[in-house]
Every structure is written in C-alpha cells, then in structure tokens.
Amino acid sequence: MEILDDEVVNDWCDLIRAEALDLHGWLRNGQRENVYENGLLHRLRKRGFEANQQQQIEVRDRDGTLLGDYYADLFVNESLIIELKATKAIADEHIAQLLGYLRATGKRHGLLINFGASTLQIRKFVI
C-alpha cells in the first residue's frame, strides 16, 4: 500500500471542500444524494482528480482474509473515501459508517459531506 503524505491529502481535501461548497451554493439543499454525487464527481474530474463513483472496495479482516466489499460514494485518487449524505444533519451512524469503511479497507483518509442541511456540513477523518 502506498503511503501518502498527509499534506498532499489535506491539499486535495481543501480543493474538494471548495468544490462541494460551490456545488451546494448552486443546488442548495433538497436534492437527492445521487444528484450531489454526480455533481461532485463531475467537478472533481474537471479539476484533474481520478475520481470514481460507486467504486467497489474490498473489505478485509486483519489477517487479509476477504470478508466482502462495499461501494464508496466517491473514491478519489485511489486513496480518499468520500461518503455523501443528503440529510438534515450528520448523525453518529454516518460517522461510524465512514470510520468503519476506513478501518476495513485500510485507507487512512475520509470525508463525510452532507449536502442536505441548509449549510454544507463537511467532516474529515484520518485513522
């Protein structure tokens, strides 16, 4: 597994935050989650990110045994998991979901973005 410099990932996150904020300013809240997912994917690809939507990611046990897989809303540069929501507020279960994805996939960095609130909500996680 490639070890990324945290500073590089933080720079990516700053750009992604800016795009998410602009997208939320344009669409506001009230759209379905997949609309925001499509919009953010489009904007990230325009900025040159390698971004995949509904990317299948393997989930492995500590010893490497394949346990299954899940589909990341957005997976950026094969390193950053982005979980999107379109709800009134970020809830504890949303945080637990993203943290579980990070632990189970061995990825260190994740963004939880909620477009459903009147003010965009973004939380970054590093494990």
* Spatial separation of the C-alpha atoms in residues 37 and 16, rounded to whole Å: 12
Order across the sheet with 51-60: list the strands. Answer: 51-60, 66-76, 80-85, 109-114, 121-126
User: Reduced to 3 DSSP states, what percent helix, strand and coil does the chain have, rounded to the nearest 5?
Assistant: 40, 30, 30
Give backbone dihedrals phi and psi of 52, rounded to 5 degrees, phi first: -120, 145
pLDDT at residue 80, rounded to an integer: 97
Coil, strand or helix at 83: strand
pLDDT tier at 3, thresholds 50, 70, 90: low
Residue whose token pair is 């492995």? 60
pLDDT, tens only, 73-118: 999 999 999 999 999 999 999 999 999 989 888 899 999 999 999 9
- Per-residue confidence band for 62, with pLDDT thresholds at 50, 70 and 90: confident
- Which CATH architecture best describes the domain 34-90+97-126? Alpha-Beta Complex (3.90)
What pLDDT score does 2 carry? 53
What's the gap between Cα 112 and its chain centre?
Answer: 6
User: How would residue 1 be classed by pLDDT, with cut points 50, 70 and 90?
Assistant: very low
Per the DSSP assignment, residues forming a β-bridge with 121 are: 114
